[in-house]
Amino acid sequence: MTGRTQLTLYLVAMHLPFALAALLVLEADLVPRAAIFALEAVFAISLATGLWLVKRCFAQLDLIRSGAALLAEADFGSRLTRVGGGELDEVVALYNRMFDRLQDERLQVEERHHLLDKLLRAAPWGVVMLDLDGRIASLNPAAEDVLGRAPELVGKAPAALDPPLGAALRELTAAPPAAASTVVTLLGSRRIKIQRSEFFDRGFPRAFFVLEELTEELRRSERSAYEKLIRMMSHEVNNSVAAVGSLLESCLAYREQIALDDRADYEQALRVAIGRTAQLGQFMRSLAEVVKLPPPRLSPIDVNALAADAVTLVRPDAASQGIEIHLATDPELAPIAMDRSQIEQVLVNILRNAIEAIAGPGRIDVSTAAQGRGVLVVENSGPRIPDAVKQRLFTPFFTTKPNGQGLGLTLVQEVLTNHRFRFALESDPEPTRFTIRF
């Protein structure tokens, strides 16, 4: 039973005995009838006044209750109606002003959230938001490009992601805020800067990660550095090689003037020097190939036929080491726009690296597939690539070969990057495979 009902019943109960008493007096004819009627009128007016006061008092409570309900439902678009009373209308005006203010603030927050959402979707850097439990709550398209599709990641702990990202995020989570930044090298020589920060959500701290792609910036910086180095070396070495080679050839013409006992040694020494000079010149020309790499001349190329030609070129070298090469092509793969000679050189370099990695009897599998625009994969049965080596594979002049120049994978990276093809060299899990996505 509500308070209004209780007060109403109380007023009725208070006035009813007086009304009945007046009727009894009227029947007994103890007082004039006019006085009785006047007294009944007073009782009626008193009861009506009491009921009006109850209604008036509880109207304020109803008004407050309605305003509280609107606040609880966050319905700031509704307004309270004036009731025609001074104090009540002041309360109504106060509530309506408060609703206007809350509605404006809600619109501002929604507009800011909408702007922030658009900025995050268009941002070139990835943003990974965590929930209050430290699990992935959302990520923008740039973060999906690095980590993978959102539905598969939402709800996961960042440390549960595949290495090296999972390990890096775990270390950043445990690190103090001042040191919450690191650079990670992903498959395919992608380098990502990861930074952790925090914000407050309803009074509780929430963490987020910012992923910045540094691959192209670092590649341009490295390219600029080794271009200058190679150009300087080429200029100095080529001039010296040409002059020294000419002098050695001239000295060789004087071998008849050398004593017979010393002539063979003299001639052999000069030919060795001439050979080494020629090798030095060839070495510098191979370095210059990376710097002078022309832009790709694109035309539709049958990738299956290109892969078959590259396998044919290296098959004799593979067979001499007991390595079998198996080719599996997808007839559904459509021609891809590329520079045939450059991509053929890339495939030959990848296959030769696979042969050298096996270093004995083994197997190489070359396959194509019509996934997306197209995929080409070269797998070999060689040993797993060590983690320390994996991080530096595409670094210029880095090599694990005793006589290597460290430019084979650099050239591969330059050609594929100029073609805007995605690529990755993976060794976890085995076998080692080089993947090109056209």
Shared domain check, 242 and 134: no
Mean pLDDT of all residues in the chain?
79
The three-state secondary structure class of 180 is: coil
**More confident: 70 or 382:** 382
Of residues 162, 160, 174, 158, the one with CA closest to residue 210: 158
For 367, the enclosing helix (H) or strand (E) is strand 362-369
Tokens representing 210 are: 């910012």
Shared domain check, 332 and 276: no
Shared domain check, 175 and 287: no
Structural domain that includes position 204: 124-213
Alpha carbon distance 360, 101 (integer Å): 78
Q: List pLDDT tens digits, range 278-314.
A: 877 777 776 676 667 788 899 999 999 999 999 999 9
Shared domain check, 369 and 268: no
Residue 114 domain flag: no
Alpha carbon distance 279, 237 (integer Å): 12
**Domain-terminating residue out of 213, 239, 273:** 213
Residue 53 domain flag: yes
Tokens 């080529």, residue located: 238
Alpha carbon distance 126, 140 (integer Å): 6
Shared domain check, 287 and 269: yes
Tokens representing 105 are: 């603030």
Alpha carbon distance 415, 293 (integer Å): 8
Q: Which of 21-35, 176-190, 264-278, 355-369 has the highest mean pLDDT?
A: 355-369
Q: List pLDDT tens digits, range 21-73.
A: 666 665 666 666 666 667 667 767 776 776 776 666 666 666 667 766 766 77
Q: Are 336 and 300 in contact (CB under 8 A)?
A: yes
Instruction: Work out how many domains the chain is built from and give that number.
Output: 4
Residue 401 domain flag: yes
Question: 23-36: b or e for each residue (b if 16 or more CB lie within 10 Å)?
Answer: eeebeeeeeeeeeb
Q: Supply the CATH number for residue 411's domain.
A: 3.30.565.10
pLDDT of residue 177: 64
| CA dihedral (212, 213, 216, 220) positive or negative | positive
Other Cβ atoms closer than 10 A to 402: 5
Of residues 185, 194, 183, the one with CA closest to residue 158: 194
Residue 232 domain flag: yes
Of residues 435, 407, 431, the one with CA closest to residue 421: 435
Any idea which of 81-95, 168-182, 390-404 has the lowest mean pLDDT? 390-404
Residues 6+ apart with CB under 8 A from 340: 299, 301, 306
Residue 371 domain flag: yes
Shared domain check, 376 and 286: no
Any idea which of 139-143, 390-394, 414-418 has the lowest mean pLDDT? 390-394
Shared domain check, 247 and 363: no
Residue 222 domain flag: no
Provide, rounded to the nearest whole percent, the portion of the chain with pLDDT above 70: 72
Shared domain check, 60 and 44: yes
Q: Are 123 and 106 in contact (CB under 8 A)?
A: no
Residue 200 domain flag: yes
Shared domain check, 23 and 46: yes
